[in-house]
Amino acid sequence: MRRYFIAGNWKMNLTRAAAEALATDLVAAMPAGDSPVDVLVAPASPYLLPVASVTAGSHVELGAQDAYFESAGAFTGEVSVEMLLDVGCTQVILGHSERRHVLGETDEFTGKKVEAALAGGLKVILCVGELLSEREAEETDSVLDRQMAGGLKNVDERAMENVVIAYEPVWAIGTGKTASPDQAESAHDHLRKWLANRYNSEVADRTRILYGGSVKPENASELLGQPNVDGALVGGASLKADLFNAIIEAAVELAGS
């Protein structure tokens, strides 16, 4: 049985004070003792340290929104895996559609980052997802196949223990348009079959596949209730403690049912 995983991608939002306050509210709302759901927040990099001091010792894990594949040197503006570990991150989001489509990052570039993050000891949330034009041209499966192949190029079966996949259809990100539960389930099922093909059925069964794209408290239960949806990567709704907590609560309820 895969554990639900609810991750908040704060993107380039909040102030230091607001990030600390949000993390404080989330930590306070986490159930005491063992939680049946894994929870992570990914603040903008200047706020990793202050948020780390709030989440330390809690069940809320700290993630980064990106990392570079070189370990040090003349790479102005970039942040290494070692630096992220040093400030308390356990995970990193890689291949987010905004990095692919706003910043022009390729599958190959994403694959190098995935490889470096895993080698350095960070868990990876690898994002994949098609544009609206690609969906309309019935290219969703082939786009996902290409992004998976590039992102996981040098990742072996063992390293896959530290990888989570996030399916984020680009047309559903920040638009208020959510993929229907059927659309999400069908893409997740395709991704799981891809994992079985590339690795084996054990890797396919244990790898968590999150859905991302306008997840809100009102649609969380239905999306998370799909057999191949193992969690959510939440953008906008992760910036409000009450909304994010309600999504976590939906996962807790499903985990107990």
- Interacting residues toward ligand 13P by CB under 6 A: 9, 96, 168, 173-174, 212-215, 233-237
Q: How far is the CB of 53 from ligand 13P (least distance, A)?
A: 24
**Phi then psi dihedrals of residue 64, to 5 deg:** -105, 160
Contacts of range 69-74, beta carbons closer than 8 Å, 24 or more positions apart: 69/112, 69/113, 69/115, 69/116, 69/117, 70/116, 71/116, 71/120
Q: Which is nearer to ligand 13P, 98 or 203 (CB)?
A: 98
Structure tokens at 243: 């909304």
Q: How far is the CB of 128 from ligand 13P (least distance, A)?
A: 12
Q: Which is nearer to ligand 13P, 204 or 215 (CB)?
A: 215
What burial class does residue 189 get, using C-beta atoms within 10 Å of its C-beta: 0-12 exposed, 13-18 middle, 19+ buried?
middle
Q: Which is nearer to ligand 13P, 163 or 203 (CB)?
A: 163
Q: Which is nearer to ligand 13P, 111 or 169 (CB)?
A: 169
Catalytic member of 61, 96, 115, 134: 96
Active site residue 70: no
Q: How far is the CB of 112 from ligand 13P (least distance, A)?
A: 21
Q: How far is the CB of 174 from ligand 13P (least distance, A)?
A: 4
Catalytic member of 105, 134, 168, 185: 168
SS3 26: helix
Q: How far is the CB of 57 from ligand 13P (least distance, A)?
A: 26
Distance between CA 182 and CA 185 in Å, rounded? 5
Q: Is the dihedral of CA 28, 31, 35, 37 positive or negative?
A: negative
Q: Which of 3, 96, 2 is nearest to 44 (CA)?
A: 96
Active site residue 96: yes
User: Shortest Cβ contact with ligand 13P: which residue?
Assistant: 235
Q: Which is nearer to ligand 13P, 62 or 203 (CB)?
A: 62
Residues annotated catalytic, as ranges: 96, 168
